[in-house]
Structure 1
Amino acid sequence: MAGLERFLADEAATARLGEDLAMALRPGDVLALKGDLGAGKSTLARALIRALADDAGLDVPSPTFTLVQSYETRFPVHHFDLYRLSAAGELDELGFDDALAQGAALVEWPERAETALPDGTLWIELAHQGDGRLAKLSGTGPAFDRATRSLAMRDFLVTAGWGDAGRRFFVGDASARSYEIVSLAGLAPRVLMNSPRLVLGPPVRDGKPYAVIAHTAQSVTAFVAIDHALLAAGVSVPRIHAEDLDQGFLLLEHLGSEGFLGGNGEPIAERYAAAAELLAMMHGKTWPDRMEAAPGIVHDVPPFDREAMLIEADLLVDWYVPMLTGKPASDALVAGYHKEWNAALDRLQGSEYTLMLRDFHSPNIIWRSDRASHDRLGIVDVQDALIGPAAYDVASLAMDARVTISPAIEKQTLDAYIAARHAAGAFDEAAFREAYAIMAAQRNSKILGIFVRLEKRDGKPFYLKHLPRIRDYLRRALAHPALAGLHDFYAAHGLLEERTP
């Protein structure tokens, strides 16, 4: 069993440890708190629960008499006190298994039911040491690994001069990256980015993992290099205040939290148009394919080549088709799919290529109403940028995967981009519209597969609600005359029909 220690000089340090553990906690985790009376278990538990609830004033009474106290935080957390248990078997009567099915469990006096706690439990033992306390963490498995990384993030904050900062969960995404808001009294809040090195996975084609073929960023170095290049070019991306490239930690400027949706959840057309105009500005620049992250550390921006486009499009036949049919895609279907996609990609020959941010859509764009012109748009997700067709990011924006964009708003967005490109100089609008259709079809085919994969492989079913929207986008893209063959193939195999997963 692995272990580590932390000296806690005072109550504030104990509370910070509670916050650090809260940032690492996930549904299904068990955190076992050991220690004598007065060792600080209640202080740590209270800080942990308040951090999960993002409520510094939340009342967190001791569950000594109720035995269990439940809280509706970012996910349910159940606080158990087993002091009055006489046997481990009594844990079942408290609904322990049901609690874990719903969320996480924080257990005081766990030694009363130690044999009943699951493998993978994270153990924290607090003991008096001098004028402070010593915390000993031990365990095996993902919960311990996450706690270890969270404590390393606190160490990173210490080196950055933000060791006393409060930590609150900000946002996660479909990858392993996560973000927190960190705050210190009297200073503007910052964003703590946790970007572990990418786990490549098994080979899937020609001896290479999917991420290598698709050119997914493998470390935070890509973010840093592209962020520097964009900032130098006048694009509003977060300034980097501190970095640890080896561990994948960044302390970033907080650009804000306002997005592209109105109070009713509807897209605000003017903001999409402004984002399209920003893309037009970026596409008028010449971008290098080598960008410096730090002295002597260079990131080579990969190409969005045919191999990458096809491996992404294949997610539809790998995941979406089996969901529809209940069986793997046949060899004949896959062969026909590749034939039509290769014919479509042939038409990109001669298209305009530029720096392509890849996920240029509303979740990754901040609206800053107090700014002017392009500075109103803060871009926060850049690490997977490639050199690829300029039309791709326009398709990503105008067919926003997480927001229902009407044909009218899609047209306004496209019109804003096209008008800005014409105003800047010579622009082949017909070639752009064809490339836009191809890239929109490729992207939405990929997303259909990704959203099913997130449900089937990763246990995230809430992505399936987006499938009808993505199918609608795909139908729009395939309506372009250049994609008639691809449209007919999709239609013949029922890939455009409304289905219930």
Structure 2
Amino acid sequence: MSQQDRGSVIDGFLDQHGWGSAGREKLVDDASARKYFRLGRGFETALLMDFPPNAVSIDPHGVSDIPERLASIAPVLQTTTLFTDLGWRVPEVLAHDVANGLALIEDFGDLTFTRALAMGSIVPASLYIRATDALITLHRGCDAMAAGAAGVNAANGANGELSQAMAGLVTYQPANLRRQLASFGRDYLPLVIADDARRGHAMQEFDDLLDHVLPQCFDAGQTIIHRDYHVDNLMLVDTDDGDADCGIIDFQDAAIGPRPYDLVSLLRDVRHDVGIDIERTMMARYLAAFPEIDETAFNRAYIATGMVRNFRILGRFGWLARESGKMRYLEFVPRCWELILRGAQQNLPELADWVENHIPASARLAPVIPNDHSQPWTGK
């Protein structure tokens, strides 16, 4: 579809729902093929999500060995209902057209936690408390859902785990996580290990490492995960009584995964240095809400899940640089490595050993990529 034809489809959708004459302001693109526009109509605003169904997006779940897939807004509709039912404050979907990849959604404004932190007038811990408490709310709801399903399924002689059939979401297993990490070897390692033989040896030992580490991600159980839970996707949203809710956006890639996954995303954020003190305080706050969880198992799963997240992010950064020319993400590479190694020697020494053996400190910097992509990439 040409850009002109796409514009006509959008105009027709907005006309149909009373926003045809609204002003439009394009918002900053994220790392996906989605585009967002803020619509203004008098004192009212809304957001238009434009996600053309012929666009290529990356499967975030590792369901298939082929990560590319056609775009769809259907997951947005599904997860909006799910998270609303579980007590999260997420934007209401005002109108949608799945076939054409368009949705009109509630506008939460611009006050992300990131911007609130940059203002300097809000105590950072207060925002992280809101975010941690939102996870506690979600996970309590999931635990209740799983307990209810267990009772029903036990009566039927079936497995009572929180399952794909219950939530309509992909349920992660070690195999999913392994497929998510394929991009690390394909799109990132060539940046820092140019020699094919050395890279092949590193990947063989990496595969052996994953055999041991990936099952440990599940040592604290599973729950519904946002999957990209960090301060850029959390917002302060006014309430009717003058307070502020923790508004949550960009949740369409939700899944059932390791319980610490979102807490790791929040507290070990590649783009924002949370600080050790806040990280420890929020982990303690979370664990106090679930006294039945074994703390040692949770900490082990937390470190293992952090490893998975950051290796996946490194692969994603490499892919974005190569396929989309988005080099700005490479500045976060050193922090990825710092987070991968934080606590690894104490909890996953084999991970620390693999990094030391194959990725020396000099190779953990932002890689240099030639402007001519026909040339081989190198970390030199």
1:235·1:374 contact (CA, 8 Å) conserved in 2?
no
SS in 2 for 1:351: coil
Amino acid in structure 1 at the alignment position of 2:76: F
1:356·1:388 contact (CA, 8 Å) conserved in 2?
yes
Report the CA distance shift for 1:289/1:148 in structure 2 as closer, same or farther (over 3 A).
farther
> Counterpart in 2 of 1:308?
176
- Aligned-pair CA distance for 1:459: 0.4
1:471·1:496 contact (CA, 8 Å) conserved in 2?
no
Report the CA distance shift for 1:208/1:315 in structure 2 as closer, same or farther (over 3 A).
closer
Given candidates 451, 454, 462, the residue that maps to 2:328 is: 462
2:171·2:255 contact (CA, 8 Å) conserved in 1?
yes
- Aligned-pair CA distance for 1:311: 2.1
Report the CA distance shift for 1:500/1:300 in structure 2 as closer, same or farther (over 3 A).
closer
Report the CA distance shift for 1:420/1:349 in structure 2 as closer, same or farther (over 3 A).
closer
Given candidates 170, 176, 187, the residue that maps to 2:27 is: 170
Q: Tell me, in whole angstroms, the C-alpha distance in 2 between the residues paired with 1:373 and 1:441.
A: 40
Q: Tell me, in whole angstroms, the C-alpha distance in 2 between the residues paired with 1:305 and 1:164.
A: 48
- Aligned-pair CA distance for 1:346: 2.5
Q: Tell me, in whole angstroms, the C-alpha distance in 2 between the residues paired with 1:320 and 1:267.
A: 37
Structure with the higher strand share, 1 or 2: 1
Q: Deviations over 1:154-199 (max 9, x none)?
A: 211111111111110123211101111101014x211111123353
SS in 2 for 1:403: coil
Report the CA distance shift for 1:476/1:150 in structure 2 as closer, same or farther (over 3 A).
farther
> Counterpart in 1 of 2:191?
323
Aligned residues: 341
1:236·1:377 contact (CA, 8 Å) conserved in 2?
yes
Structure with the higher helix share, 1 or 2: 2
Given candidates 435, 458, 461, the residue that maps to 2:301 is: 435
Structure 1's unaligned 5+ residue stretches are 1-143, 293-298
2:234·2:248 contact (CA, 8 Å) conserved in 1?
yes
Report the CA distance shift for 1:312/1:259 in structure 2 as closer, same or farther (over 3 A).
same
More displaced 10-residue stretch of structure 1: 368-377 or 387-396:
368-377
Q: Deviations over 1:54-111 (max 9, x none)?
A: xxxxxxxxxxxxxxxxxxxxxxxxxxxxxxxxxxxxxxxxxxxxxxxxxxxxxxxxxx
Q: Tell me, in whole angstroms, the C-alpha distance in 2 between the residues paired with 1:181 and 1:289.
A: 36
2:105 paired with 1:252: yes
Report the CA distance shift for 1:335/1:156 in structure 2 as closer, same or farther (over 3 A).
same
2:217·2:302 contact (CA, 8 Å) conserved in 1?
no
Q: Tell me, in whole angstroms, the C-alpha distance in 1 between the residues paired with 2:240 and 2:353.
A: 46
SS in 1 for 2:39: strand
Report the CA distance shift for 1:169/1:284 in structure 2 as closer, same or farther (over 3 A).
same
Please, what TM-score do these two structures have when normalized by structure 2? Answer: 0.81
Highest CA radius of gyration, 1 or 2? Answer: 1
Report the CA distance shift for 1:145/1:464 in structure 2 as closer, same or farther (over 3 A).
same
Amino acid in structure 1 at the alignment position of 2:280: K
2:220 paired with 1:351: yes
Q: Deviations over 1:442-498 (max 9, x none)?
A: 1011111211221122101111111122121111152442x1112111111125554
SS in 1 for 2:170: coil
- Aligned-pair CA distance for 1:221: 0.9
2:47 paired with 1:191: yes
Q: Tell me, in whole angstroms, the C-alpha distance in 2 between the residues paired with 1:306 and 1:172.
A: 31
2:331·2:366 contact (CA, 8 Å) conserved in 1?
no
Q: Tell me, in whole angstroms, the C-alpha distance in 2 between the residues paired with 1:455 and 1:207.
A: 23
Report the CA distance shift for 1:221/1:245 in structure 2 as closer, same or farther (over 3 A).
same
- Aligned-pair CA distance for 1:283: 1.0
Q: Tell me, in whole angstroms, the C-alpha distance in 2 between the residues paired with 1:291 and 1:375.
A: 34
1:273·1:412 contact (CA, 8 Å) conserved in 2?
no
Q: Tell me, in whole angstroms, the C-alpha distance in 2 between the residues paired with 1:456 and 1:496.
A: 23
- Aligned-pair CA distance for 1:363: 1.5
Amino acid in structure 2 at the alignment position of 1:193: M
Report the CA distance shift for 1:304/1:207 in structure 2 as closer, same or farther (over 3 A).
closer
- Cα RMSD over matched residues? 2.9
Amino acid in structure 2 at the alignment position of 1:438: A
> Counterpart in 2 of 1:228?
81
Please, what TM-score do these two structures have when normalized by structure 1? Answer: 0.62
1:238·1:380 contact (CA, 8 Å) conserved in 2?
yes
- Aligned-pair CA distance for 1:345: 1.3
Structure 2's unaligned 5+ residue stretches are 146-161, 368-380
2:19·2:41 contact (CA, 8 Å) conserved in 1?
yes
> Counterpart in 2 of 1:284?
140
Amino acid in structure 1 at the alignment position of 2:173: D
> Counterpart in 1 of 2:96?
243
Q: Tell me, in whole angstroms, the C-alpha distance in 1 between the residues paired with 2:32 and 2:182.
A: 19
Amino acid in structure 2 at the alignment position of 1:145: S
Matches within 5 A, 1:8-407: 145-186=2-43, 188-197=44-53, 199=56, 208-211=65-68, 218-261=71-114, 262-263=117-118, 268-286=124-142, 289=163, 300-328=168-196, 330-368=199-237, 376-407=245-276
Q: Higher RCO, 1 or 2 (CA under 8 Å, sep at least 6)?
A: 2
> Counterpart in 1 of 2:337?
471
> Counterpart in 2 of 1:114?
none
Q: Tell me, in whole angstroms, the C-alpha distance in 1 between the residues paired with 2:296 and 2:283.
A: 12
> Counterpart in 2 of 1:411?
280
Q: Tell me, in whole angstroms, the C-alpha distance in 2 between the residues paired with 1:351 and 1:311.
A: 21
- Aligned-pair CA distance for 1:267: 8.7
Amino acid in structure 1 at the alignment position of 2:14: L
Amino acid in structure 2 at the alignment position of 1:247: N
1:273·1:417 contact (CA, 8 Å) conserved in 2?
no
